[in-house]
Amino acid sequence: MSVLRPDDTAPSVHDVDYEGLWDNGFRGVIFDLDNTLCPWHEDGLEPEVVDLLAKLQRRGFRVLVLSNGRLRRRRHLLGQFRELQVPVMWPAGKPCIRGFRRALATMELAALQVVMVGDQVFTDVLGANRVGMAVVLVSPVGPREQFLTRILRRLERCVGRV
Ligand SMILES: [Mg+2]
């Protein structure tokens, strides 16, 4: 099923070829949060992740976080994104396209100029493909997952992650 296929895969957000994406006309990066930028439910970003987001912004990319999580209590994390001036949209309801469209409107970019980076096939990959956005599937950073996610992982194994 092509809507479940990412355009590329990478071990982590640090391994994505952002320079290559820039050269191919991409100007925005939408990141999933849990198990992509940080372990599930963690209230904070590792310094290397903060550095990466800042580096992408300096390069000229517009960066945004689109999460299906409930983030109200994760104050430290939200503060880090505020300091970076990275908009965070939650709960996004991925794979519904509404959140993706709102993200594109906020970034003032077209779907073809933006790449989604996330760890889940049925939310990140499916949603991005539905709006015509390129998508890179990364390996989940943490072992802990929400109950629903664990069910979706089983389905991912059925369809194959790539
Ligand atoms: Mg995730």
Domain boundaries, the chain: 2-159
pLDDT tens-digit profile of 84-132? 999 999 999 999 999 999 999 999 999 999 999 999 999 999 999 999 9
Structure tokens at 85: 């001036």
Cα 89 to averaged position of ligand 1 atoms, centre (Å): 14
- Residue 117 sits at φ, ψ, to 5 deg, of -125, 115
The Å distance, Cα 93 to ligand 1 centre, comes to 12
133 Cα to the center of ligand 1, angstroms: 17
Half-sphere exposure of 82 (CA within 13 A, CB side): 6
Please name the residues in contact with 22: beta carbons below 8 A apart, sequence gap of 6 or more: 59, 60, 61
Q: Quote the pTM value.
A: 0.93
Instruction: Check: CB of residue 28 under 8 Å from CB of residue 114.
Output: yes
Average pLDDT for residues 68-81, to the nearest whole number? 96
Give the separation between CA 87 and CA 126, rounded to whole angstroms.
Answer: 22
pLDDT for 34 equals 96
Residues 80, 88, 108, 119, CA torsion sign: positive
How confident is the model at residue 142, as a pLDDT?
Answer: 81
pLDDT at 64 over 70: yes
CATH superfamily, region 2-159: HAD superfamily/HAD-like (3.40.50.1000)
Centre of ligand 1 to C-alpha 148, Å, is 12
Cα 95 to middle of ligand 1, angstroms? 12
pLDDT at 72 over 80: yes
The total number of residues shown for the chain amounts to 162
Query: How far does the centroid of ligand 1 lie from the alpha carbon of residue 12, in Å?
Result: 12
